[in-house]
Amino acid sequence: MLPLTVVIPVCNEAEHIAGVLDRLLAQNYDHDKLEIIVVDGMSEDATLQIAQEYVQKHPNIIRCFTNPKRRAAPARNIGVQNARGEAVLIVDGHCIIDNEEMLCHVSQAFEQTGADCLGRPQPLEMTNATSLQWAIAKARRSPLGHHPDSFIYSGEAQFSPASSVAVAYRQSVFEKIGLFDENFDAAEDVEFNTRIDAAGLKCYFDPAIAVRYVPRKTLKGLKHQMERYGRGRVRLWRKHRHTFSWKSFAPGVFVLWVWLALFFCVFELIRVCCHVWGKDGTYFAPSFSFLFPIVAVSVILYPTIIFVESARLSFQQKRWSIFSSLIDVFITIHYSYGFGILREFFFPKR
């Protein structure tokens, strides 16, 4: 077995952190070769106290550090800089680990493939899920709800780009390309993995090391998540210009078009009203009526696509109760991600 360090960046994860630590301690892995580092981002709940209780019970395995900057990138760096293992695996504080051989698979994949890093799928946990959570899980697996080029929902073991999937790294990777960029408060993992691909390092995608995640419980939580992802995508593009793709920025174009279409429609309405009231609007503004056919097509086409895909997923799952939720989820994903792109593009967060 490979000496392995598991780094868990956390902030306000009191509800989940004990379960994650329990599942890691229950892994079929030589504890003499396992190290668990919890990095707490100044939690305002009982996360730190719970982690420290585990440190007291398992001082030879678990260590705990504080992350004053609170964000994920500094937390990852603190874990990496204090890691003693030959490889580092990043595990979130709210994931579900139901495979007691997961760490063994990490070690075996490194040893058998010679890869510099490992990627994993991120399936969503659906036990006791609400209709909204079902809708989020299904929408995120759809080409309309997630970047179609990503591997995170794939089920096939293969060498793949690291950019969207890598979570475990040999120590040599950090020696070659440095640490996570702390200027990123979202997509810091994608940025780091993009540098891995640029350096020509090898990533092996292994479904056997998957962990599951619980979908957001509310549309508000999903909105916040998607907006952060949108901002992170723009920051990634600013640092690595080659990462631009129309698929990544399409939601931003969509939201911008919605705003412009609304503006043009209101402006044209005012112009027409001025003309009807005897104040010829053509004297002070051009007509935007030529845009009406394009706006009309957009108004019809977008809802139709969302309606058809929502119906398809509902039929596929035989869960018609999620149909209306799917429509809400798709709109939230597209609008929030697009708004995050535009917000970061025009008003970059310092």
The chain-wide mean pLDDT, for the chain, equals: 89
Same domain as 266, residue 132: no
Stronger pLDDT, 172 or 157, i.e. the higher one? 172
Same domain as 252, residue 210: no
- Assign 62 to helix, strand or coil: strand
256 is a domain residue: yes
pLDDT value of position 179: 97
Among 55-64, 192-201, 290-299, which stretch is predicted with the lowest mean pLDDT? Answer: 290-299
Per-residue pLDDT band for 283 (boundaries 50, 70, 90) equals very low
233 is a domain residue: no
Per-residue pLDDT band for 281 (boundaries 50, 70, 90) equals very low
Q: Is the pLDDT of residue 278 over 70?
A: no
Among 131-135, 288-292, 314-318, which stretch is predicted with the lowest mean pLDDT? Answer: 288-292
Same domain as 145, residue 87: yes
Query: H/E element holding 65?
Result: strand 62-66
221 is a domain residue: no
27 is a domain residue: yes
pLDDT value of position 148: 67
Same domain as 211, residue 324: no
- For the chain, percent of residues with pLDDT exceeding 70: 92
Same domain as 163, residue 101: yes
Range of the domain at 16: 4-215
272 is a domain residue: yes
Cα–Cα distance between 13 and 70 in angstroms, integer?
A: 13
Same domain as 303, residue 171: no
pLDDT value of position 47: 96
67 is a domain residue: yes
pLDDT value of position 246: 85
Same domain as 47, residue 159: yes
Each residue of 179-227: pLDDT tens digit?
999 999 888 999 999 999 999 999 999 999 999 888 888 999 999 999 9
Strand partners, 88: 5, 169
Same domain as 256, residue 210: no
Strand partners, 262: none
Q: What is the mean pLDDT of residues 65-73?
A: 95
φ/ψ region of 213 (left if φ > 0, alpha if ψ in -120 to 50, else beta) reads beta
Same domain as 275, residue 154: no
- Assign 138 to helix, strand or coil: helix
- Tell me which of 160, 193, 215 is where a domain ends: 215
Same domain as 286, residue 185: no
